[in-house]
Amino acid sequence: MDKQRGVRVMTVDDHEIMRGGIKFTLLAFDDIELVGEARSGQEALRVCDEVSPDVVLMDMKMSGMDGIATTKAIKEAHSSVRIVILTSFHDKQLVQQAMQAGAVGYVLKDASKDELADAIRAAYAGRTTLSSEAANDLADAGPLSIGQHLSERERDVLVLLAKGMSNKQIAKQLNRSPYTVRSHVSQIIEKLGAANRAEAAALAVQHRLVD
């Protein structure tokens, strides 16, 4: 973690009282900084562009764009942002959909303030945090197949990576900046549990993630 600042956190929740409660809770931690709030999925995309958070705390049930759709949209636009679902709801399908959308954590709203802070820190470090209920739901649903955490854009990058293209070539092909592609590649390597881009390409072929 950058010792000069705390983890930059943004909240997305359509209930003002809940957002206020999270804001108050995070004030207790010197290494966590609340930098933005959004009341809807649409507003979340705009605020995320403006404040560049490290971690987003995402409500699941919202009118308009729900937490799953908003998670996917944020990950498409900002692949390095870590998203932790913070919700009152859980079941096998919801938890699995959240992880497939790109979330790295699933925490229930009755979690303690220390549990929430630990989930934020874990997300910032690239580690997954699941409430015991969510973990049980995921176990009951069966293991996620490799590659299910990849976003649509990451899958596009993986196809070209598996063809042996460099980041510069991929950036030109997808009309993206080399920096963005480099970030996507890092996420792909991490999500596939690979040691490097060569192993990621091999895993993609092995598990038929690419043609």
Res. 48: pLDDT tops 80: yes
Share of the chain above pLDDT 90, in %: 51
Tell me the per-residue pLDDT of 66-117, one tens digit each, with 9 for 90 and over.
999 999 999 888 888 999 999 998 778 888 888 878 888 899 999 999 999 9
pLDDT band at 138 (very low <50, low <70, confident <90, very high): low
Report how far residue 128's alpha carbon sits from residue 207's, in angstroms, rounded to the nearest whole number. 22
What is the structure's pLDDT at 85?
95
Mean pLDDT taken over the chain: 87
What are the structural domains, with CATH classification, of the chain?
Answer: 7-141 (3.40.50.2300), 152-206 (1.10.10.10)
pLDDT over 90 (residue 195): no
Measured between its terminal Cα atoms, the distance across the chain in Å is: 38
In one-letter notation, the amino acid at residue 75 is K
* Backbone φ and ψ of 34, nearest 5°: -80, 120
State the DSSP string of 138-177.
HHHH-PPPTTTT--HHHHHHHHHHHTT--HHHHHHHHT--
pLDDT above 60 for 142:
no
